[in-house]
A and B are shown apart, each in its own frame.
Chain A
Amino acid sequence: MSVLSVRHLNKRFGGNVAVEDLSFDLEAGELLALIGPNGAGKSTTFNMIGGQLSADSGSVALHGMELLGKSPYRIAQSGVGRTFQITATFSSLTVRENVQAAMLAGRRRIFGFWEPACGQYTDEALDLLGQVGMRDQAARPCSELAYGDVKRVELAMSLASSPRLLLMDEPTAGMAPAERHALLALVKKLVAQRNMAVLFTEHSMDVVFTYADRVAVLARGRLIAEGEPGYVRNHPMAREVYFGSGATFQDMPDGTGAP
């Protein structure tokens, strides 16, 4: 059974169609890149899978279990990790506490009032920080970190409850090219180790074709091409909307409306 199966997903914002009849599958150990021009519906799709947005119709199943209609924290607890386009961490906690908080939440141990949190899952948190290369900064406040390091902490937090599916919304936005490759190489390694599934959006084609196992192209809310990177690279419709004939952009000057 697929880790994630999306079926006939739809979302409108007023009169604007953000996502229309979207269906795809994602297997364990696979990195699927969701690409498309601005306003294609990538973030909307992410937010529906993660529970931040409600869908109009369709189905999103994790190992056969329906996710639509669940609140984000339930979805997280059922094994979906996620990172955000604009990084979100707990800035007043230390790096280690950030990961510990995520671990406590994922294991439903948040309503503890007596045992100090700093002694819970300490080794696991440090181990995970080691995996993303942040172990030596574990005691620093998250607010003091460099941008790329915050991204790594966020990755560690999203992995804290050993998710089966990881959603990464533009994981490399705002990073230098060398950092981008380092981050995606790290993700690729973690995917292999943990046999998890990763769905990510990305604007850097270089990154997409280097690391994705499969690529899905969205345009105006519809899936127009899906397959191996080599196949998509040569797909005529994908080339048309994405790789620069420019026709689509001229047709819809306000095509950047949806988030």
Chain B
Amino acid sequence: MNLGSLFIQAINGLAEASSLFLVAAGLSLIFGVTRIVNFAHGSLYMLGIYGAYSLVQWWGGSPWGFWLSLPLAALLVALLGLIVEIALLRRIYKAPEIFQLLATFALVLIFNDAALWLWGPDDLMGPLAPGLSGSVQVLGRHVPQYDLMLVALGPIVLLALWLLLTRTRWGVMIRAATQDREMLGALGVNQAWLFSSVFALGAFLAGLGGAMQLARQPANLMLDLSIIGDVFVVVVVGGMGSIPGAYLAALIVAELKALCIALGVVQWGGMTVAFPKLTLVVEFLFMAVVLVFRPWGLLGKPMSAQRHMGLRDQPFHAASPALRWSAGLLLAALLALPWLSEHFPYAMVLAQDMLIAVVFAVSLHILLGLGGMLSFGHAAYFGIGAYAVAMLAKLAGWSMGATLLAAPLIAGAAACLFGWFCIRLSGVYLAMLTLAFAQIVWSVVYQWDAVTGGSNGLFGVWPSSWLAGDGYYYFVLAVAVAVVLMVRRMVFAPFGLALRAVRDSALRAEAVGMPVKRIQWLAFVLAGVLAGVAGAIYVYAKGSTSPEVITVAKSVDALVMVLLGGMQTLTGPIVGAVGFVGLQDYFVGATDYWRGLFGLVILALVLLFPRGIAGYFQQRVSRSTYS
């Protein structure tokens, strides 16, 4: 490393920071006013690049065509944002946070498949920017002119936004809504119009951030989720709703990454540290540190009061005879399944997947349903359980029994560590911190080729011989039943009562003598252990594991399972997991665009069944018994 390469990476970092800032500023504005964390913001960025690509193609390569295409693509994205806001988000402003996050995640899936359908799976490279395709000599290095233009763009947009927010009536209303939107509504401001326009502006910024990248990088289908991780970090570190905070954080994050690349591979007394590989981890570590010391971000303020409450939960009752009978019948059917394998060879495989999903969903239910703690990174513990099994079996040669005992404990230990940070936060901040930890785990697993097998994962982990044939299916069934029964026992035991009490009112819980943080921490660890169990039995069912099991998508799968069935009861995640796996299996067989289809299902679910399927039927039943 020398000064020259450090400088060039610093310029590169500044250019990255500008694009990151555009997207993050949009997300931050939208969050400030609507209180919705827009997961699909990365998709809008991605559509910005694709849109700009098509427009540039269309208008030939003339300089005018190129430079007009970029803002026009951003305007088209803004129009799309407007449609999304009016058609979808308006209906869920009053819904619990988790539904809002899920609805926007559904948009990610839909937009991604739409882009696949429109533009195909290959990377699309745009032309160099006419007029700015050359480079400037600085310190003996070539710095692209286009990058210098991007470096300037960030502060210009920051200034423009600042003027907009402080000097216009519209800006004053945005700031007022960020402070207290109920009050603004009470003063007679048309909120619907304000929200729509802010969402369109946010989408415009995301689209512009994307379009500006056309000359620097190819458009591809992975951009949506890769940028949204960075943007979450930037917005949370800067402070939700703070535009200058977003710029500051974008700068720090981009420069930290640039520094890692500039440092290269360094030898430290026998240890080799490959800094470029740390780029994925470094931003999330930075975020974790900031959140612990400044939970509201560098320039953020504590969130203003929200007056609406989520759905009110009902007290739990002992299982009705009907429920006990159906559970018994279901168990009998599951026990008999291997005898039917001649007629339905696939049924047992599917049932096994469902049982593993049940364990995973039930583990999340402890956090989400009982504890009211929103986790967007639950796949981390599933993945740690899976990798612990695979690594202990492949690298250390442990027996199946030993790995199955150790893996949940290792997942629990990780949950113990991450939980210590996480319990300090709540709501969307908690969701993002859990996501950050999951991303750290993912990037370590993904990049540590020598130990984890990198992107390929680890193969050839099969059950012991005494569980050959149908044996392993029965083993999974036994584990799933045991987990469900134990969690059920816990729900009705004092700890379950305390966990729900803490969720309802942490203030009251402390005042009657409950150690609130310790209760939440323990719930976090328990959920981690059980997710680890699910991950461990998953590996022996599949014979392998790959980084796929730790992705955001996997975490969202678990959330959808719990919501599909309903958060209010233990039946919910069970019904949800079974429905989810069945549905996914059907979709994957039916169409290449199953993710998009799945997104539509999530949207329908959020809009039609805000209490989940089990909750919906339970409500109908209880209504009919009371009336």
| A interface residues with partner B (beta carbon < 8 Å) | 50-52, 71-74, 76-77, 81-82, 84, 88-94, 97-98, 100-102, 104-106, 108-118, 120, 141, 143, 154, 157-158, 160-161
What residues of chain B lie closer than 8 Å to A117, measured between beta carbons? Answer: 492-494, 496-497
Partner of B509, one of A81, A105, A113, A143: A105
Asked if B495 is at the interface (CB within 8 A of a chain A CB), the reply is yes
Partner of B497, one of A73, A76, A100: A100
Residues of B within 8 A of A77 (CB): 513
A116-B501 contact, Cβ under 8 Å, with A73-B514, A73-B516, A76-B513? no
Residues of A within 8 A of B274 (CB): none
Besides A50-B511, A90-B500, 7 other CB < 8 A contacts?
A73-B513, A89-B504, A93-B500, A93-B504, A105-B498, A112-B493, A113-B495
Is B508 touching A120 in the complex (CB atoms < 8 A)? Answer: no
Report the minimum CB–CB distance from B517 to chain A (whole Å).
9
Q: Are B497 and A89 in contact (CB under 8 A)?
A: no
With A72-B510, A76-B513 known as contacts, the answer to whether A111 contacts B494 (CB < 8 A) is: yes
B residues sitting closer than 8 Å to A (CB atoms) are 312-315, 489-490, 492-498, 500-501, 503-505, 507-516, 519, 522
- When the two chains form their complex, are residues B494 and A104 in contact, meaning their CB atoms are under 8 A apart? yes
Instruction: Give the distance in Å from the alpha carbon of A127 to the alpha carbon of B563 in the complex.
Output: 39
Indicate if the CB atoms of A110 and B495 lie closer than 8 Å: yes
* Residue pair B507, A84 in contact (C-beta under 8 Å): yes
User: Is the Cβ of B507 less than 8 Å from the Cβ of A88?
Assistant: yes
Say whether A94 contacts B315, CB under 8 Å: yes
With both chains docked as a complex, state the minimum distance between the C-beta of B279 and any C-beta of chain A, in angstroms.
40
Expressed in whole angstroms, the Cα–Cα distance for A113 and B314 within the complex equals 21
Please state if B494 and A90 are interface contacts (CB–CB under 8 Å): no
For B501, list chain A residues within 8 Å (CB): 90, 93, 98, 101
Q: Complex formed: what's the CA distance from A154 to B509 in Å?
A: 11
Chain A nearest Cβ from B406, distance in angstroms = 22
> Contact partner of A141 among B314, B492, B498, B514, CB < 8 A?
B314
CB < 8 Å A-B pair total: 125
Closest to A79 in B: B513
Residue from B489, B492, B498 in contact with A101 in the complex, judged by beta carbons closer than 8 Å: B498
Contacts of B519 in A (CB 8 A): 110
Instruction: Write out the residue numbers on chain B whose beta carbons fall within 8 Å of the beta carbon of A74.
Output: 513
Contact check, B514 vs A110: say whether CB atoms are below 8 A apart. yes
Q: Tell me the bound Cα distance from A112 to B499 in angstroms.
A: 12
For A143, list chain B residues within 8 Å (CB): 312
B513 / chain A contacts, CB cutoff of 8 Å: 73-74, 76-77, 102, 105-106, 108, 161
Query: Does the CB pair B512–A76 fall under 8 Å?
Result: yes
Chain A residues whose C-beta falls within 8 Å of the C-beta of B498 in the assembled complex: 101, 104-105, 110
Contacts of A88 in B (CB 8 A): 505, 507-508, 511
Q: Is the CB of B315 within 8 A of A84?
A: no
Q: In the bound complex, how far is the Cα of B515 from the Cα of A111, in angstroms?
A: 10
CB neighbours (8 Å) of A100 from chain B are 497
- What is the CB-to-nearest-CB distance from B277 to chain A, in angstroms, rounded to a whole number? 42
CB distance from A86 to the nearest CB of B (A): 9
Q: 18 A-B pairs, CB-CB below 8 angstroms?
A: A71-B515, A76-B511, A76-B512, A88-B505, A92-B312, A92-B503, A93-B500, A93-B501, A93-B504, A110-B514, A111-B495, A111-B522, A113-B490, A115-B493, A116-B493, A117-B492, A143-B312, A157-B508
Known: A50-B511, A101-B512, A104-B498. A91 touches B493 (CB 8 A): no
Which residue in chain B gives the minimum CB-CB distance to A107?
Answer: B513
- For A112, list chain B residues within 8 Å (CB): 493-495
